Structure 1
Amino acid sequence: MISHSSFVVDSVQNKPTYPTDSESTILTDIYSPDHNIAIWKRTLPTESVEAIGEMLGVRKALALVKCVSPDNAAEYIQDKLSGYACTEALSEDIALIVDMFCCLFDVEEAGLRLTMLDSAMCPKFHVDQIPCRLVTTYNGIATQWLDNKDIDRSKLGRASVGIADDLSGLFNNDLAIQQMQAGDVALLKGSGWEGNESMGLVHRSPALMCNERRLLLTLDLV
């Protein structure tokens, strides 16, 4: 475990629950078998957030899907989003994140999705059937998740028999729901990670208010 990492602490059991830090190197903690999430905490520049909000306000839709490399990610985003005030800063930031992701997992490409959402994409808590996914929200409310200690996995997914998550017994109360902030970059370990088959991170897309829009970036291994 790297020494700089700070952990959010369970106030009852006084045990660390997940690694989070303002330094991007915290993302390497995803390799620890004890953690199924690692969060790089960061605050985006106000001018960038405002420019992204302006873009979302005029676009009817946005759904970019592409296998990209650190070398071509910025050019791809610039081509698809040309003419907006946010394009240069957004493309540079996405290229940086793609570079970090590829370096961390020793791969040449990543599966990129940049999507504008006006409703929850995955409203029920679930586990991804993949090794690992990077997520970051550039605008709007960010991803919600549950710590292993707070959930009953026997109530997850189809096992809930259609009952809403807050009534099924999946978690005790709303205080168990943890949430990323816009700008945060997180790695979410799925059930496809070797040795983590039954412990993938339980998470969901948050509900959006009327007329609210969200810009979500995800990166997957390809």
Structure 2
Amino acid sequence: MRPAPALAEPHALVDASHAFVWTPEELADIYRDGLNLCVWRRGLDAPLSHWLSDVTATRELDVIARVRSEAPDLRLRLGGLPQGPLFEAWLADVHFLVRLYSDLLGATELGVRIHILDRDMCPRFHVDRVGVRLLCTYAGPATEWLENAHVVRSALGATGDVTRPGASVHALERFDVALLKGESWPGNQGNGAVHRSPAISGSGRRRLFLSIEAL
């Protein structure tokens, strides 16, 4: 991956609830009390990004797998995609993120989802009833999220209309590795990261994303 630009500090803590970091080791910041979103901004690999965009535009993919962290072999489930060096590079990255999640969270059995979508999967702002979920968008628009200060948490529910007046809706970037702390993390009830899928239904746009969580 292209390295992030050099910064004066090793990572940027934007406020008490979310942080951007520049190395995978710094994703351990997710353990900070009160922090509910930690994003490793690792930049794009241009050839791989082009290949993934082409795959997303022309293929279907709907993988839901239960894997062990010591042997997360997803090759057979992804065998319908074009083979070659760029496929191998992407598969290695997916396996790396599975092991990274396992190392950070101490999980041995993981739920992995890899989807190519042409519709909105979770269009309303919401929180997850999990401990921590890893998200990475490889192609197309990425997950959108709100800062804690911009959320009316009492309005979370069916409408997803939770933004305060003037709130900014942020979006992750392709290849970002995001850890989102959910409501089931010990001590995090009422502080789950508020996020939604980007709006793509009817637009002709498609996205390829990976999700990992402990089982």
Shorter-chain TM band:
0.7 to 0.9
- 1:167-206 paired onto structure 2 within 5 Å: 170-173=163-166, 175-206=167-198
In 1, Cα distance between the equivalents of 2:77 and 2:142? 26
Given that residues 138 and 207 in structure 2 are in contact (C-alpha distance below 8 angstroms), is that contact kept between their aligned partners in structure 1?
yes
Q: CA deviation at 1:55?
A: 1.4
Secondary structure (helix, strand or coil) at the match of 1:181 reads coil
Given that residues 69 and 107 in structure 2 are in contact (C-alpha distance below 8 angstroms), is that contact kept between their aligned partners in structure 1?
no
Instruction: Specify the alignment match of 2:6 in structure 1.
Output: none
In 2, Cα distance between the equivalents of 1:37 and 1:79? 29
Instruction: Specify the alignment match of 1:12 in structure 2.
Output: none
> Are residue 27 (structure 1) and residue 33 (structure 2) matched?
no
Given that residues 68 and 108 in structure 2 are in contact (C-alpha distance below 8 angstroms), is that contact kept between their aligned partners in structure 1?
yes
Whichever residue aligns with residue 204 of structure 2, its letter is N
Q: CA deviation at 1:127?
A: 0.5
In 2, Cα distance between the equivalents of 1:77 and 1:143? 25
In 2, Cα distance between the equivalents of 1:192 and 1:16? 19
Given that residues 139 and 209 in structure 2 are in contact (C-alpha distance below 8 angstroms), is that contact kept between their aligned partners in structure 1?
yes
Given that residues 17 and 36 in structure 2 are in contact (C-alpha distance below 8 angstroms), is that contact kept between their aligned partners in structure 1?
no
TM-score for both structures, normalised by structure 2: 0.87
Q: CA deviation at 1:79?
A: 5.1
Q: CA deviation at 1:148?
A: 1.1
Instruction: Specify the alignment match of 1:101 in structure 2.
Output: 101
The 4+ residue runs of structure 1 with deviation greater than 4 A are none
Instruction: Specify the alignment match of 1:77 in structure 2.
Output: 75
Question: Pairwise CA RMSD of aligned residues?
Answer: 1.9
Whichever residue aligns with residue 80 of structure 1, its letter is L
Instruction: Specify the alignment match of 1:207 in structure 2.
Output: 199
Structure 2 residue runs of 5 or longer lacking an equivalent are 1-8
Q: CA deviation at 1:71?
A: 4.1
Cα offsets for 1:132-177 (capped at 9, x unmatched): 100000001111111111111111113xxx4x62xxx53223x521
Q: CA deviation at 1:40?
A: 0.2
Q: CA deviation at 1:42?
A: 1.2
Secondary structure (helix, strand or coil) at the match of 2:74 reads helix
TM-score for both structures, normalised by structure 1: 0.85
In 1, Cα distance between the equivalents of 2:145 and 2:37? 9
In 2, Cα distance between the equivalents of 1:79 and 1:65? 9
Q: CA deviation at 1:56?
A: 1.8
In 2, Cα distance between the equivalents of 1:177 and 1:79? 34
* Count of matched residue pairs: 204
> Are residue 124 (structure 1) and residue 130 (structure 2) matched?
no
> Are residue 6 (structure 1) and residue 12 (structure 2) matched?
yes
Cα offsets for 1:95-142 (capped at 9, x unmatched): 111111001111223110000111111000001011110000000111
Q: Identity of aligned pairs, percent?
A: 32
Structure 1 residue runs of 5 or longer lacking an equivalent are 9-14
